[in-house]
Each structure stands twice: as structure tokens, then as C-alpha cells.
A and B are shown apart, each in its own frame.
Chain A
């Protein structure tokens, strides 16, 4: 899982980090946080996209090998949220790359983030099965 902060207020970022603490421990599902898009299956983005982070989001997405999923965490990442009308904000993550899972909330709670990640794992499995079928 690769976490990128597009233009979050840090509220959601801290909740994402919460998921890694002993209380929530995302690693019990085998998910670890990495900084390397080449080795990630999931791209988790907090905050809406602005004109500066747009190219970064696109690049990270393109560096990840298929199959991959994108999770938008927090209402800003889903739609733009309270910053939607700002002159520099393009809107939710889905304005630049396809998003598979939307986790709403301001800030999104760790429980719902974990729910979102689990859903993303299911989608990832489906995509992998479809890719293997395609190859045959």
C-alpha cells in the first residue's frame, strides 16, 4: 500500500497512520505501508487534487504494476470536500485517475479506512483473476 497526500489538511493522514498502530494494526491482514510505487498494489490518497499534485498522482499511478487499485480516503479525496470551490483544487481524485474505493468522512475513521482497504483487497483479487483469465 502506498499512501500519498495530494492536498489533505493532515487530518486524514493521521487517521491512516492510526491504522498502523498496535490498536488497529493493518498488518494483521498482511498489508504494509511502503514508499515505493513499484512495489505497491494499492494507492491510498488523502485530500483533493490541486494543480501541483496532479502530475505526481498521475506519475505514481503509472509507476504501479497491474493489477492495482486506488482508494480515496476522506471526503476531500472523494469529491473535493470543503475545498471544492478553491481556485487551485481540481476536485476529487477521480478527476485525474480512476478510483475503486471511496472512503467518506472528515476525517475518515480508522475503522472505515480498514473497511475500505479490505474492500480494495477484494477488488484487487477480482482484477487479478480477470487478468489471469485474459492471459489464457
Chain B
């Protein structure tokens, strides 16, 4: 019963929470740059606006691919909140990304195609760590099941601080933050216009934005797993820490310049193998 409630809450509230966090991110970034920044509710206005715009479809398939991206992300998130298998969730998450890549490759804009190529490199950069993450949770708790992981007497973070660090590092890719924001341009750098979303407009773009909000909440849910244990008090602490991590990502976004793809790939892999690998090795030897 509780699980069904959580899943419904995720499906209904994740876009709201995601849009709110996006607004918060924009305000905090603006304050860091000594600007006033937009209203926190700006992403909501933007979504409303996008849905009211004329639909300029560049081909017949893009809308379908974007919808698949959204729906598959919703499935991945729902599985997480239903307490299902972590490996499955991570695989479905990368499947969703494949639809985004296909959607970007389907139009004729060279910028979108270049964005799709870069997105693929980004997937390669973060994927190893997410797999190590799942193995880490298995070694630390004896199960891939999210519901079992949540019922541990002690939070997983004590056993896997390295993996947490690594995950914070690569999560910047998923949150589309500098220095890894290569495939889309959420900020004013426009060397390839808007990357993946260059030829998407109106409702088409709104769907992608909604998908990103679902993904954002899903990622924060994964961070939540590190801190939560069977005491409900730890859940509050975990929620606060998730917000702190999100704000740290914003800070990092504002103090770093974008990197070239090779540096992104090698940087992420180095962190994965050093922080994640060593952590995993210690877990293997002690458990």
C-alpha cells in the first residue's frame, strides 16, 4: 500500500519538485553571480508557455521518441520508489537516454546530431560508476533490492563514502551541469546552439523538460539511498543532505568552466576507478 502511494506520489509530484528545484537552482546561480535572478516559479511558467505554443514538428517520429524518453524515465523512477531492483532501475535509466539520443539524431540539424554524439560519450562516462554503485550496494547490504537497502540498521554511506563521492562527481552529467554540460547548453554558452534540443520546440521541448525533472528526482532518490536506514529520523537527514548535494552541484556548476569530451571521459573514469574501485575493493575484502 505504502509502495503504491509512493509511486503515485512520484508520478504526480516529481515534475513539481523538479521544476521547483530548477527554479531554486536558477535563483541560487543568479545570486552567486550577484544578479537578482528570476522567480522560483519561473520553470512552471515556462512549462505552461511551452505547452501553449504552436507545435513545429521537424519530423513524425521525434514526438514519439520524446514521449518514450519521458515514459521510460517515469518507469525507472517508479521502480525506485516501489523499492524494486537497483540494477534494473539503472538499466532502464540508460535505455531512456538512448531514446533521447535517437530523438536528437532523427532531425537534420548538425547541432542536434553533434549533441547526440556527445550525449553518447557522456553515457559512457557515467555508466561505469552507476554499475559499481549497484555492486557497492549489494556488497554493503547483501541485496540489489531498494526496499532491503532501506531497511539496514546503518546507513550505506558509512560503508561506501568513495562511491558517494564518485556518484556526486558523475551526477553533474545527469543534472546537466558544468563542467560536463556538453550535449545540451543549459546556459548561455551556445557553441552548438542548444545541442540535443536544437530542433525541439513547444510541447516537444516541454516533454524533454518534464523528463529531466523526473530524472532529477530519480537521481536525488539514489542519493537518498546512501543516507536512509530503517529509522525514520534518518529519512529527514537524508532529504536535507540531498538538498545540500543539489546545491553543491549548483556551486560546482558556477565555479567550473566546461571541459572537452576527452577530459570529461577520462576525468569520470579516473574518479570511478580510484574512488569507486578502491571503495569496492575494501568492501569486498571486509565483507
**A87, CB-defined interface residue at 8 Å:** no
Interface string of B25-38 (1 = CB under 8 A from A): 01000100111111
Is the contact region of chain B dominated by helix, strand, or loop, or is it mixed?
Answer: loop
Contact call B199/A38, Cβ cutoff below 8 A: yes
How far, in angstroms, from A56 to B56 measured CA to CA in the complex? 19
Number of A residues near B (Cβ < 8 Å) is 22
Contact call B194/A35, Cβ cutoff below 8 A: yes
Contact call A27/B198, Cβ cutoff below 8 A: no
How far, in angstroms, from A72 to B198 measured CA to CA in the complex? 24
Closest B residue, CB atoms, query A21: B35
Contact call A30/B45, Cβ cutoff below 8 A: yes
Question: When the two chains form the complex, which single residue of B53, B190, B193, B197 contacts A65, counting CB atoms closer than 8 Å?
Answer: B53
Of B74-82, B121-129, B200-208, the one touching chain A: B200-208
Contact call B200/A33, Cβ cutoff below 8 A: no
Question: When the two chains form the complex, which single residue of A22, A39, A65 contacts B35, counting CB atoms closer than 8 Å?
Answer: A22
**From residue B52, how far is it (CB to closest CB) to chain A in Å?**
6
Contact call A66/B194, Cβ cutoff below 8 A: no
Given A22-B34, A25-B36, the answer on whether A30 and B42 have CB atoms closer than 8 Å is yes
**A41, CB-defined interface residue at 8 Å:** yes
**From residue A36, how far is it (CB to closest CB) to chain B in Å?**
4
Chain A residues numbered 17-53 whose CB sits less than 8 Å from any CB in chain B: 20, 22, 25, 27-30, 32-36, 38-39, 41
**From residue B239, how far is it (CB to closest CB) to chain A in Å?**
28
Contact call A39/B46, Cβ cutoff below 8 A: no
How far, in angstroms, from A128 to B34 measured CA to CA in the complex? 33
How far, in angstroms, from A102 to B70 measured CA to CA in the complex? 41
Closest B residue, CB atoms, query A128: B52
Question: When the two chains form the complex, which single residue of B37, B49, B194, B202 contacts A36, counting CB atoms closer than 8 Å?
Answer: B194
**A81, CB-defined interface residue at 8 Å:** no
Closest A residue, CB atoms, query B192: A35
**B188, CB-defined interface residue at 8 Å:** yes
Contact call A35/B36, Cβ cutoff below 8 A: no
Question: When the two chains form the complex, which single residue of A22, A33, A38 contacts B201, counting CB atoms closer than 8 Å?
Answer: A38
> Chain B residues near A25 (CB, 8 Å)?
30, 35-37
Contact call B193/A35, Cβ cutoff below 8 A: yes
Interface centre among B37, B45, B201, by most A CB within 10 Å? B201
**From residue A136, how far is it (CB to closest CB) to chain B in Å?**
13
How far, in angstroms, from A20 to B201 measured CA to CA in the complex? 24
**B39, CB-defined interface residue at 8 Å:** yes
> Chain B residues near A39 (CB, 8 Å)?
194, 197, 200-201, 205
How far, in angstroms, from A67 to B35 measured CA to CA in the complex? 29
Given A25-B30, A65-B53, the answer on whether A36 and B35 have CB atoms closer than 8 Å is no
A-B contact pairs, 28 of them (CB 8 A): A20-B188, A22-B33, A22-B34, A25-B30, A25-B36, A27-B26, A27-B30, A27-B37, A28-B30, A28-B36, A29-B38, A30-B38, A30-B39, A30-B46, A32-B188, A33-B188, A35-B185, A35-B190, A35-B194, A38-B56, A39-B200, A41-B53, A63-B56, A65-B53, A65-B55, A128-B49, A128-B52, A132-B52
B residues contacting A by CB (< 8 A) are 26, 30, 33-39, 42, 45-46, 49, 52-56, 185, 188, 190, 193-194, 197-202, 205
